[in-house]
Amino acid sequence: MTIQVGDSIPSVKVTLATAEGPKEVDAAAFFAGKTVVLFGVPGAFTPTCSAKHLPGFVQNEAALKAKGVDTIACIAVNDAFVMGAWGKDQAVGDKVTMIADGGAAFTKATGLEFDLTARGLGLRCQRFALVAKDGKVTHLAIEKPGEFEVSKAESVLAAL
């Protein structure tokens, strides 16, 4: 079942891509005690993700933080090295935390997976954005396949 507004962020292991290398954390602990905007993408270095989705959150970081957001994070079913390289390529700096969900544990636990095996991509994360306050989802926007509207930074800003 797909995560809903009012649900808690699941307690599963994810990996942060940090300057010091991969750092495993519990997702529920990562979200605890703060307001987090998390957006999910089908994959690092993919066209819409690289041209629009991630750059939009980097560009709107100050506006999101002005609305009370403590942390902006991006998650994909990629490993921490790929997420780290993508973050460097996109010059995210400390504006966006890059989260690797290499085994899709978070993606499956939230019901946000979709299967692109037929296209050679395997199990992926749907394109989405959510806001969680102290680990509870307060806003969730999941894109229809092939669309990019409800999960972009400007839409999240409007929802805050």
Indicate which residues carry an active-site annotation: 49
Closest to 154 in 3D by CA, of 74, 56, 88: 56
Dump strand ranges (E) for 5-156: 13-18, 21-26, 35-40, 71-76, 97-100, 113-116, 122-125, 128-133, 136-142
List of residues 6+ apart from 74 with CB closer than 8 A: 38, 39, 40, 41, 53, 54, 57, 83, 92, 96, 97, 98, 99
Closest to 131 in 3D by CA, of 146, 149, 151: 151
